[in-house]
């Protein structure tokens, strides 16, 4: 069976969306403060001291201490585990960047028009994960 035939009959074709994203954290208190206070995400629920959920549009972003579903260790300091991109309208990229700076967040790069049609600003969360606010331009 070739790859195209396998994909056409795969049970994974039933997937319609990413429902939630989990970030394994090193410092739960710092990460919760950042996502709740700095970024202002709406706290959805706290299932335990090791699992906190935020609502972002139609998705859930969970902060978790590894142990419940995996025994992986958090990535070493200085290594990003992931990049998250948050979409806004074009005028809001600069406003988000200004707000981040006002709240003491260092920008990895200032608002920039990219050749691929996005206006972006990059920064990191307390665990070093790369975050992006972007808009189509």
Backbone angles phi, psi at 54, to 5 degrees: -120, 150
Q: What radius of gyration do the chain's Cα atoms show?
A: 17
* Whether the predicted pLDDT of 23 surpasses 60: yes
CA–CA dist 121, 98 (Å, integer)? 10
> Of 32 and 4, which is predicted with more confidence?
32
Digit-coded pLDDT (tens) for 47-68: 999 999 999 998 999 999 887 5
| pLDDT on residue 70 | 63
Mean pLDDT (the chain) is: 88
| pLDDT on residue 66 | 80
Digit-coded pLDDT (tens) for 115-133: 999 999 999 999 888 999 9
- Written as six digits, the tokens of 96 are 């988000």
Domains and CATH numbers, the chain: 18-69 (3.10.180.10), 82-137 (3.10.180.10)
Helix (H, G, I), strand (E, B) or coil at 107: strand
């Amino acid at each position: 069976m070739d790859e195209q035939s396998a994909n056409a009959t795969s049970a994974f074709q039933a997937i319609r969306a990413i429902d939630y994203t989990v970030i394994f954290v090193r410092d739960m208190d710092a990460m919760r403060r950042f996502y709740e206070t700095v970024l202002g995400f709406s706290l959805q629920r706290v299932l335990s001291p090791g699992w906190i959920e935020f609502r972002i549009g139609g998705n859930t972003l969970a902060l978790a201490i590894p142990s419940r579903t995996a025994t992986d260790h958090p990535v070493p300091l200085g290594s990003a585990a992931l990049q998250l991109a948050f979409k806004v309208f074009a005028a809001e990229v600069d406003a988000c960047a200004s707000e981040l700076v006002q709240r003491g967040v260092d920008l990895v790069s200032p608002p920039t028009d990219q050749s691929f049609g996005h206006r972006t600003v990059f920064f990191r969360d307390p665990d070093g994960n790369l975050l992006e606010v972007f808009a189509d331009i």
